[in-house]
Amino acid sequence: MTDNFEFTDKLKKNLFIMMGIGLLGLVYVFLLYPENSHARLWSNILANTYYFTGIGLFGMFAVAAGTLAYGGWHILVKRIFLSLSGFLRVGGFILAAIVVLGLLNVHTLYDGVKHIIHEPVVTPNHTTKVIFFAPVFWVSRVFVYAFLWLGFSWYMNKFFARTDQTDPKVYKHSKLLAAAFIVMFALTESAASWDLIMSMDPHWYSTLFGWYNFASYGCAAWAMTILLVIYLKSLGYLPKVNENHVHDLGKLLFGFSIFWTYLWFDQFMLQWFANIPEETSFWVKRFGHGYFKFTIFLALIVNFLFPLIFLIKRGNKRNFKIVGFGSALLIFGHYVDFFNYTFVEPNWNKVAVEEAREAKEHALNKSETVVLYAQAAEKKEEVAGVTDATPVVENREAVATEVKKTEGESKGEAIEGEKTDGEEEAPVLNYASINIGEVLVFIGFLGAFLFAFFNNLAKHPITPESDPYLKECEKLTVTYS
């Protein structure tokens, strides 16, 4: 078997079929809820593009970090890491186009930012946001990220494929290139998470959001690498890669899963503990909606409990079937994680939400006299020494019934013993969910990502024979056996 990957017509055909399925998914979500400015469509495009772009970025980070750390274990899979970045050649520019189209009112993903820009400036914090999200400045930043990612992807793939890696000058240059990438990555990765994801709710912020994104698509990148290594070995490539190398990848996947969980808990616990409205609004919105409360804890269970229970065992990380299944599950789990960030804001049914808010205010106002009456009755009973509180309880029940009734009227729901006219169904408060449309779109983007990966992989030999650390990596065949 040659060391050059052959991108066969059959594989290309299968990936084109996957991309075709994705197009069908885009058409499907486009037809869903057109009254909501097709927000479901744009949420899918943003979530998938950002997710797979992050995986590609992390592939280059893995190479740069290993180079700076004088690592030798990863040399046999270095080309896999580098080839993950193939999607960056389109992903970064799709993200930039999404921002531009949002400012042109083609979609509503960033309507919150547009409201901030056009609202009267009332606080210094507001002034800072107006400057930060000035359209030219905002779009320019995103295009800078896209060009930097494209440039580093092209140059790093070309540089690490050179045949003179043992030359001292070339070796020194590899360290400088890796260091430059790490600096660029640290700045653009964090800033892109603010510009593209956090800005969907410009009033909410988290001081560790960049780290959180890094950990999430970092887990997905390790998982994707494991699956691709197993697939390539099944085709006869990577003959020197064995369970020891996959074991190392599994350890990194497990470690990053615990790191992600730490950041998840840190963000949740600190924002809940501080109870600052600008921070807690993220959780209030999602926990107030049953579907998103479910998906938040679904992501936590999949991305934390599975690695903790299954991948903590040494034997499981060396078992291709178990670690492969776990990798596929974690790729889905971290997609759900980004779903929770990108689908909530643009997919609210603004009419239904406003009606529900007004109905609740009306219910509270309408029940105010009853509440005061109950409080007065309590006070009167305390003074008279009366212990029978039945009238007070009845009044409290009346308050609860009135609030429930009024809210039910706003949602088209009936309380016990009553029916609404025509038995109208409650309006949907949020149009977002993970259904067949999201699955099809994800498959399409996965096909595009894999097409870019295999196309990149086929350009150079898979094994970097000239790498000075190759022999050290090959020793893993006997070190842990």
Q: In the structure encoding, which two tokens stand for residue 103, read together?
A: 């400012």
pLDDT at 321 over 50: yes
Environment class of 324 (CB within 10 Å of its CB; exposed 0-12, middle 13-18, buried 19+): middle
Taking the whole predicted model, whether its pTM rises above 0.95 is answered as no
pLDDT of residue 477: 54
Environment class of 411 (CB within 10 Å of its CB; exposed 0-12, middle 13-18, buried 19+): middle
pLDDT of residue 356: 74
Q: Strand runs (DSSP E) across 3-154, as ranges? A: none
* Strand-pair partners of 348: 430
C-alpha dihedral sign at 372, 373, 377, 380: positive
Which residue from 243, 240, 161 is spatially nearest to 474, judged by alpha carbons? 240
pLDDT of residue 383: 41
Residue 334's pLDDT band (cuts 50, 70, 90): very high
Mean pLDDT of the chain: 84
Segment 136-151, tens digit of pLDDT: 999 999 999 999 999 9
Q: In the structure encoding, which two tokens stand for residue 106, read together?
A: 């083609």
Segment 87-138, tens digit of pLDDT: 999 999 999 999 999 999 999 999 888 887 777 666 677 778 888 889 999 9
pLDDT at 374 over 60: no
What whole-number distance in Å separates Cα of residue 132 and Cα of residue 192? 13
Q: Is 38 left (phi over 0), alpha (psi -120 to 50) or beta?
A: left
pLDDT of residue 481: 36
Report CA Rg, the chain.
27
Give the C-alpha distances (Å, rounded to integers) separating 393 from 172, 180, 398, 400. 80, 69, 9, 11
Domain ranges of the chain: 9-349+429-479, 353-423
Amino acid letter for position 292 = F
What whole-number distance in Å separates Cα of residue 75 and Cα of residue 83? 13
Environment class of 128 (CB within 10 Å of its CB; exposed 0-12, middle 13-18, buried 19+): exposed
Give the C-alpha distances (Å, rounded to integers) separating 123 from 126, 206, 281. 5, 19, 19
Amino acid letter for position 223 = A
Segment 134-193, tens digit of pLDDT: 999 999 999 999 999 999 999 999 999 887 888 888 889 999 999 999 999 999 999 999
Place of tokens 């399409």: 444
Q: In the structure encoding, which two tokens stand for residue 142, read together?
A: 């995103």
Amino acid letter for position 236 = G
Segment 225-269, tens digit of pLDDT: 999 999 999 999 998 888 988 999 999 999 999 999 999 998 888
**DSSP per position, 190-247:** HHHHHHHTGGGSTT---TTHHHHHHHHHHHHHHHHHHHHHHHHHHTT--TT--HHHHH
Q: What is the DSSP letter of 385?
A: T
Q: Is 70 left (phi over 0), alpha (psi -120 to 50) or beta?
A: left
* Strand-pair partners of 372: none
pLDDT of residue 371: 42
